[in-house]
Amino acid sequence: MFNRVITNQTKTMILLMVVFTTVILLFGGLVYYSIVNFSHQRFYELLKIRTTTIVQIEKSKKQLDIPENHILNSLNDEELPMERDYVFAIPEDSNFKKISSEVQIPDFFFKNIVQKGEANYNDNEFYYIGKSFKYNNKSYIAIASAQNHYIIYYLGFLKRTLITCIILSLFFSMIFSFYLSRTLFKPILKITGKVKEISSENLHLRLEAQPDNRELNELVDTFNTMLTRLETSFETQNHLIGNVSHELRTPLTSIMGEADVALSIDRNAQEYKETLEIILDEAEKLDKKIKALLLIAQTGFDGKIQKIDKVRMDQLIWDTIETIRKIDSRNNIYLDISMLPDNPKKLKVLGNEQLLHLAVANIINNGCKYSNFQQVKVSLGATDTDVYIIIKDNGIGIPESEMNKIYDPFFRASNTKNYEGYGIGLPLARNIMRMHNGELIVSSYENLGTTVQLRFPTLYGTLSKQEIVN
């Protein structure tokens, strides 16, 4: 992948260079063409003025005296480079070959003047413009010619200037293309390098968001979500592999032992009944543990929420508390609503109501059980970005040395031996929170109590008002 990115970077740099080069050459060509065209038009205008002046001067004479060489003396104080002015009488047969050979001007030029009344011509170095006129019922041609100093001197300088500018522009465009392509691909290269560092041993690493790059940040968020699911799956898998055999072996050993004893010794009906009751009890324990395994597997391995809805967390909390009270009337739960926001829309989250109910119920049940049914305080609040549920009890707490194991499936703290349970409440709740892009934070002190904070991203501020209402 890295090589592919490098290749794409090179391709991008070459493409940018081609684009910049094309633009520079087109611009240079346009400038050159415009100036050349302007120089042609400007010089022809000057020659036209000369020709008009010649005609006016000749017409003002009492007698038109044309020299044999047809070349006039300069009629202007400011001569053009190598300027020559001509006046010709139009031959009766309109044959200009003789005149053409004498002055080295093509005869078609003379014919064009006669036909059109005015014409121009150039041989790259000398420019000519001619005009016909009548004097005393005779037809004449006046021609002004000169060397185009714009072409000879200025355009040569322009060529050198443009070539120099084009070379410098190409050089800087190459540097700019390299810099731009590197800037464009730098975040991708950075992400690629970070991805190469991530393996099964360090799935806790996350990609960093790129400033002012919305599209790339969407990719980063998607990848980080995938990493979270993978991390949860790996952790769940590792914990399950280490604990499943032990947790399932105990009830199985008990069932097999009771069955073996029952088969090896003849017993009366009452003794057989008692044995079967023990076997049934152990089988029920085994069934509960298998169901617990399935729950953890569903929230840990898959990482997908089957059904997504807009859930009001205040309603979910009330339903959860009511359900827990019905299960055991000894459960003493106090709902603190002092942190509720003024706008109830802030309490909406996107998720699976059943799974959210399961996560919250597990935490509250644990609080009631391990506090010996003392009061458990449940607080609900929300900001513009998050919904918070804080569950606080005054129970036995968790020893500080065992806090790093609280998310291991089937782990139970050393001070919970007198309490029934399977050690799946916190791992299950954390998996569900991760599925909802939420966070579960536990703080606990032995013999003082435990506080669990659940944080969910709220829909408020991310969706339109109409979407939130619906």
Instruction: Give pLDDT tens digits for 34-75.
Output: 777 777 777 777 777 777 777 777 777 666 555 544 555 555
Q: SS3 helix, strand, coil % of the chain, rounded to 5? A: 60, 15, 25
Alpha carbons 50 and 150: distance in angstroms, whole number: 17
Pair (211, 294) in one structural domain: yes
Question: 217 lies in which domain range?
Answer: 199-304
Pair (323, 290) in one structural domain: no
Pair (426, 291) in one structural domain: no
Alpha carbons 263 and 256: distance in angstroms, whole number: 11
Q: Kindly give the interhelix angle for 425-435 and 214-264, rounded to the nearest 10 degrees.
A: 150
Residue 166 located in a structural domain: no
Total of domains in the chain: 3
Q: What is the mean pLDDT of residues 443-465?
A: 83
Alpha carbons 337 and 253: distance in angstroms, whole number: 49
Residue written as tokens 């169901």?
Answer: 291
Residue written as tokens 């019905």?
Answer: 326
What pLDDT, on a 0 to 100 scale, did the predictor assign at position 5?
46
What's the CATH number where 107 sits?
3.30.450
Alpha carbons 375 and 369: distance in angstroms, whole number: 11
Pair (350, 294) in one structural domain: no
Average pLDDT of the residues of the chain: 77
Pair (342, 460) in one structural domain: yes
Pair (291, 374) in one structural domain: no
Pair (321, 266) in one structural domain: no
* Of the residues 134, 153, 172, the one at which a domain ends: 153
Q: What is the mean pLDDT of residues 224-247?
A: 63
pLDDT of 109 > 60? The answer is yes
Amino acid at 256: M
Amino acid at 181: S
pLDDT confidence of 465, banded at 50, 70, 90? very low
* Of the residues 117, 138, 153, the one at which a domain ends: 153
pLDDT of 108 > 80? The answer is yes
Residue 7 located in a structural domain: no
Residue 432 located in a structural domain: yes
What pLDDT, on a 0 to 100 scale, did the predictor assign at position 90?
81
What pLDDT, on a 0 to 100 scale, did the predictor assign at position 426?
86
Pair (327, 379) in one structural domain: yes
CB 142 within 8 A of CB 78: no
Pair (270, 356) in one structural domain: no
297 sits in the region (left: phi over 0; alpha: psi -120 to 50; else beta) called: alpha
Task: Report the largest interatomic distance among the alpha carbons of the chain, rounded to a whole angstrom.
Answer: 162
Predicted structure pTM score: 0.47
Pair (312, 410) in one structural domain: yes
Pair (342, 443) in one structural domain: yes
pLDDT of 449 > 80? The answer is yes
Pair (139, 227) in one structural domain: no
* Of the residues 287, 304, 321, the one at which a domain ends: 304
